[in-house]
Amino acid sequence: MAALDSLERLPNELLYMIGGHLPGSDNTKMGSLAALCLTCHRFNAVFEQQLYRIDARYGMKDTGAMAFGAMTGQVRVLEKSFAQGGAINDPDEETYWAEETVKPIHHATRCSDGSEQALEWLLDHGADVHSKAIPDRNRGCCMKCNYYIYLEPFAQLPLRWTICEGNIPGVRVLIRRGALDYPEDQAVATDYRNSAMFCAVEHNRHELVLDVLQAIGPDAARSILQMRGRYGYTLLDALVRNNGPPAIIRAVLEMGAATELGDEGDDGYGETPLWRALLFSQWESVTALLDYGARQLDTDPNTWRNNDDRGYVYFILLQGAGCHDFRRDGATDPMRRMVTKGILFPDRLWKGKTPLGNLIEGDWDTLDVTRSVEFLLDIGADPNLTTEPAAPNSRGTTALFNLFDPHGSKRVKRWPFYQSWAIHRRSVNKGAYCCWFEKADGNLADIFARNKAIAAALLDHGASLNVVRESDGLSLLDRITGPFYTPPKRTETPRRRDLLILRIVRFLRRYARPEALTPAWTRWEHDKTTQLTEPHGLLTILESNPGGYIHIVSQKGVYKGKGLYKMDSGATKPRWEWALLCN
């Protein structure tokens, strides 16, 4: 301490002599001089100007005093460096892209505290608000952004960097100081503004969108809101895609954002903002879009052309985030409102399939299928509408027929996965699910136990038991009573199976409307030599002959007894035809 006190009392001339004896030249002894200045305040006061002068002349542009002052928001450091010749706009002469070197104004974008003062000072002293800079490959201005994005011209400007860093005060300073007035032609300026706002939305700086739009005026704002970005997206698309606040979406709509654009009315992938809001269960945003005229596409309102023509209903009810909220919270009011506007639930959607058929054909372990079916029926879905034969794996059957389909799929495995093209379509948290299906013969008892409530809902709404367009003409009752189901276990007896079928038939009779019982399609065939056909169907016989026996007719004759079925092993192609007489 005594030695330091003695140094403190030395005149400045002797201190300069001590500094002059440090090893190295001016451009190499900066470290030694800085270490000496750390020993006491007297050395720091004497050599501070020399340190700033050496730094301004020989220091690294991205690690020197000017860069440090900009990154930390210390205006005093900026002033001292500038007074000793620190550069604000001069590029690093040794950089290959000299005009695109990171400058102090770019460093100031990274400051989280005091950045507005640093930016104001830099702009007051000649910093260019439109200067370009490419960040270091390993550092970048934001970890969320890919480095190669910043090779694009508009990604190198201070405004884009500031938005990326979430420096909201700094963004407002740059906008006020003319960052949006790009000094090139109007098309380039519009692209620049659009790029800045897309960056804000991408990084969830939604409030900055309104700042930018309000700063450029209503006409320019309307022009930007109606133009497409690089991948065909509008700003409204980006807001909905990134789960923007409904208040921001409504404000953007008030400024003139179009809910549909062009002849196709989508973003180039067949996806409108309404489609995304529905998929992500953003009901308040859906309401805002409907209030401002969102509608279906004029060409094909239920499809999107990027993948396989599956439409709104398929993804809203069967996949995505909306289905989970719909099942869990019962958020049906917005969906009913869409129905009144003709937005959703067409007769057919994916390659001729019906919404009811899609719900029933899959074993959706994440959905309440019963509730979904009831909702579709309540809003007017036709339970007797058959799928088109051209649909994949379709036999042109109704929803009720598909419900008791013995050859349905069984879901046996499920795991999360991620797809680059589908991440934003499946859920808000960018999670998607892939399921592996294993084909398995259905078990009649299990199918009936699982689907009783769905069958009752279909029958209550007028589902017919006999409307079918299969090539062989078999009806639902033919399927139920035929040899198409696998027994649940080996111990099952024919009598148990008989009782199960009787229970199913009674259930169907109890819930079916009278018009659903006729005409019946179950066929009777006698011996081949006569080729006679009995015109009465199963349920007609049930009504006219209460109490009786079970009649089984095969290709070679008639079997009478109390067993439900008998296969004629002598027939080349045994054909099973049924009639059931019971109480």
Give tens-digit pLDDT for 140-184.
Answer: 445 445 444 545 555 577 887 787 777 778 888 888 888 877 766
The whole-number pLDDT of residue 463 equals: 83
Residue 520 lies in a domain: yes
User: Has residue 395 got a pLDDT over 70?
Assistant: no
Query: What range defines the domain where residue 548 resides?
Result: 461-579
Residue 16 lies in a domain: no
Give tens-digit pLDDT for 370-386.
Answer: 777 777 787 777 788 77
Calculate mean pLDDT across residues 493-500. Answer: 68
The whole-number pLDDT of residue 235 equals: 83
Residue 485 lies in a domain: yes
Q: Are 88 and 122 in contact (CB under 8 A)?
A: yes
More confident: 213 or 388: 213
Residue 451 lies in a domain: no
As separate numbers, helices (DSSP H) first and strands (DSSP E) second, the chain gives: 28, 7
Chain centroid, CA 330 distance in Å = 20
pTM (2 d.p.)? 0.54
Residue 529 lies in a domain: yes
Q: Which of 150-164, 336-350, 489-503 has the lowest mean pLDDT?
A: 336-350
Residue 8 lies in a domain: no
User: Has residue 119 got a pLDDT over 80?
Assistant: yes
Helix pair angle (41-58, 65-72), 10° resolution:
100
Question: Using 50, 70 and 90 to split pLDDT, how confident is the model at 540?
Answer: very low
Residue 333 lies in a domain: no
CA-wise closest residue to 524 among 509, 538, 512, 534? 534
Residue 470 lies in a domain: yes
User: Has residue 97 got a pLDDT over 70?
Assistant: no
Mean pLDDT of the chain: 62
Give tens-digit pLDDT for 450-470.
Answer: 788 888 888 888 887 766 555
What's the structural domain count of the chain?
1
* Residue 415 backbone phi and psi in degrees, to 5: -155, 155
Question: Using 50, 70 and 90 to split pLDDT, how confident is the model at 186?
Answer: low
Calculate mean pLDDT across residues 331-360. Answer: 61
Q: Are 47 and 36 in contact (CB under 8 A)?
A: yes
